[in-house]
A and B are shown apart, each in its own frame.
Chain A
Amino acid sequence: AQSVTQPDIHITVSEGASLELRCNYSYGATPYLFWYVQSPGQGLQLLLKYFSGDTLVQGIKGFEAEFKRSQSSFNLRKPSVHWSDAAEYFCAVGVWRSNFGNEKLTFGTGTRLTIIP
């Protein structure tokens, strides 16, 4: 079964600083990888996704992520954070099954991002 590890429970960065959130997955084949963001009291918003092709993917709000098969990682990055980026970030892996489409998403435990002025 697939699994996702987000080793950092809470990260604090200064506004304007760069950000990297770590995500490691475990799955026997090429996974479908996603990063979601959740603001307090809200649902999940998709930031970006990887399903094939270029290993560096661009998302919304200036985020990008790089898929590294050799390290089983899909780390999220942003060159300069804004106060509005404070939220909880979830990495997820999905498995594609032919004739069935996407199987369930398996989520990491999330990383809470705090931005200090």
Chain B
Amino acid sequence: KAGVTQTPRYLIKTRGQQVTLSCSPISGHRSVSWYQQTPGQGLQFLFEYFSETQRNKGNFPGRFSGRQFSNSRSEMNVSTLELGDSALYLCASSFTFTGTSGTKKSSYNEQFFGPGTRLTVL
């Protein structure tokens, strides 16, 4: 199975511009999450989409938005770019696993990450 793919891998923009990043999840995965990684703030959750609906959202300004299509591919958009938006943007697709511990069944989602898009804002 192909892994999570993200395009483009590298991007250079100037302040005030907008940008759209794309993520194609692993086939069969319906959930896509986005994270921002910076040296100062580390890895921070942006949002999660499941079946074309935003299911969870992190603490980012409204300039950051996303969407998911019927084929589970997702895009995130950042408008009015600021210097501080320079970061590695990671996408993760997830699948629900069910395990058994004794007689107890548990489910959890395992997230598979793409290689990221490196965004530089000048």
Interface residues of chain A, those whose CB is within 8 Å of chain B, are 32, 36, 41-46, 49, 51-54, 90, 92, 94, 96, 100-110
Contacts and interface: CB of A to CB of B under 8 A. Distances in A.
B106 A43 contact: no
A49 B35 CA distance: 19
Contacts, number: 74
Contact of A94 (B31, B106, B109): B109
Contacts of B92: 44
A104 B45 contact: yes
B101 A43 contact: no
Interface stretch (B11-19, B62-70, B74-82, B112-120): B112-120
B33 interface: yes
Contacts of B56: 100, 103-104
B110 A49 contact: yes
A49 B108 contact: yes
B90 A105 contact: no
B58 A43 contact: no
A25 to B, nearest CB: 15
Given A53-B101, A90-B43, A107-B42, A101 B109 contact: yes
Interface in B77-107: 90, 92, 94, 96, 99, 101-102, 104, 106-107
